[in-house]
Structure 1
Amino acid sequence: MSKDPLKIFELLEILDNLKHLKRTGWVKCGVPEPETVACHMYRMAVLAMSLEGQIPSLDINRTVRVALVHDIGEALIGDITPHCGVSEEDKQSLEAEAIQKICSFVPAISDEINALWWEYEKRETLPAKVVFHLDKFDMIAQADAYERKYGIDLDQFFTSTRGCFSLEPFIAWDKELREKRNVRRENDQNKDKDNGDKM
């Protein structure tokens, strides 16, 4: 047993921050009810579980754990995107400091949280690579959902991720999602044209 106590109320505050921290990309695009960082990480964790038997030799338990902590530092520094004017190096440094503070609240698993976060950042292991793919796929799946729900154009998320998938089943999922999106957009354009002709 760790001699340092669990700082439960500090941990609760961290998790509460994640539950209410809206993801910056959606906010900047004017999405009416954007998901939070906690929502994003939860869905990624469940998707990671669903990969059982899909990717040979993948450690599902490790992958789920990486997914659950990969954005946890944002509870203290916010959701910094490539468009926020912060370099990748500075962002990583800020997150690393945040991780150290969060780890101080959970001494019994501090080494594990730190190791999982750095594993994701380095993207050298299969679980880390899979979580990176999950992160990108979850983003475009969410963009598609927002387009369908709110009728807004979020093409920038599909453009920025074109060709970024190098592992199956993500390559196939990406292809299927884009094909469905193209069909939907064509149908929407035809409906708009038909409505215009009737006016």
Structure 2
Amino acid sequence: MALVENKKILEFLELVGRLKHEKRTGWVLCNINDCESIAGHMYRMGLMTFLLTEENNPTKLDRFKCLQIALVHDLAESIVGDITPHCGISPEEKHRREDEAMKTIAELTGIAGDRMYELYKEYENQSSPEAKFTKDLDRYDMILQAYEYEKRENAPKKLEEFFKATYGKFDHPFIQDLAKELYKQREEFEKKALVNGNV
């Protein structure tokens, strides 16, 4: 029995290992060279959950649960790929494919898989404060990454669409404050580029 289980676990690990190499579609479509992987995005989201403290977490979000949701929220992409609104697939079909993929992943790991599927559904349905916070992390990591690419390529405003898509959508005060700091730095970067004649 254990051998069968281990075989399935190995299959699971190889499957999710794809996310270390699968590029995020949004950046590929924007012709960003050497762009981040899906796993890289999830990794930084996971690390951000450690930044919740007594001071900035008055509603006592469960940090460990936030970390778990961050690590599973895009697992389905190891099977279906990173589907964006630009891919010509309806949101309903996207959710259907991802749900099927998560069921496949869950089947490989038994009880652990049941937990992963449960957390994935919680995120998809935005049915807990932790799921909502993790959605903030998802959006915030995306605009932080966009800003990093703008700086790297010395191309202010190049990825403005990502900022427009998320503006006003951050709920948690801690992430709202981080977003304000990011907007401020991005504005300063744009001003410097204007002065230096790079725009």
Partner of 1:191: 196
Secondary structure of 2:196's partner? helix
Equivalents in 2 of 1:48, 1:62: separation in Å? 9
Length, aligned pairs only:
194
Q: How does 1:29-40 map to 2 (within 5 A)?
A: 29-40=30-41
CA shift for structure 1 position 170: 1.2
2:183 is the alignment partner of 1:178 = yes
Give the % identical residues: 38
Gaps of 5+ in 2: none
Q: Which amino acid aligns with 2:168?
A: G
Secondary structure of 1:31's partner? coil
2:8 is the alignment partner of 1:5 = no
Equivalents in 2 of 1:60, 1:9: separation in Å? 28
Q: Which amino acid aligns with 1:102?
A: I
CA shift for structure 1 position 124: 1.9
Q: Which amino acid aligns with 1:55?
A: N
Q: How does 1:136-175 map to 2 (within 5 A)?
A: 136-152=139-155, 153-175=158-180
What TM-score comes out, normalization by structure 1 length? 0.92
2:51 is the alignment partner of 1:55 = no
Q: Which amino acid aligns with 2:163?
A: F
Contact kept? 1:24, 1:81, Cα under 8 Å: yes
Gaps of 5+ in 1: none
- Which structure has the larger Rg over C-alpha atoms? 1
Q: Which amino acid aligns with 2:179?
A: D
User: Which of 115, 118, 128 is 1:115 aligned to?
Assistant: 118
The two structures, once aligned, show a CA RMSD in angstroms of 1.9
Secondary structure of 1:47's partner? helix
Which range is displaced more, 38-47 or 50-59? Answer: 50-59
For residues 75 and 68 of structure 1, do their structure 2 counterparts lie closer, same or farther at Cα, with a shift above 3 Å needed?
A: same
Contact kept? 2:23, 2:37, Cα under 8 Å: yes
Deviations 1:107-159 (A, max 9, x none): 13121011000000011201100000000000000000011112231111111
Which range is displaced more, 15-24 or 151-160? Answer: 151-160
Equivalents in 1 of 2:105, 2:162: separation in Å? 30
Secondary structure of 2:86's partner? coil
Contact kept? 2:23, 2:35, Cα under 8 Å: yes
Contact kept? 1:48, 1:63, Cα under 8 Å: yes
CA shift for structure 1 position 104: 1.4
Contact kept? 1:4, 1:107, Cα under 8 Å: no
Contact kept? 1:2, 1:108, Cα under 8 Å: no
CA shift for structure 1 position 2: 8.7
Secondary structure of 1:112's partner? helix
CA shift for structure 1 position 3: 10
Moved over 3 A (4+): 1-4
Equivalents in 1 of 2:107, 2:123: separation in Å? 20
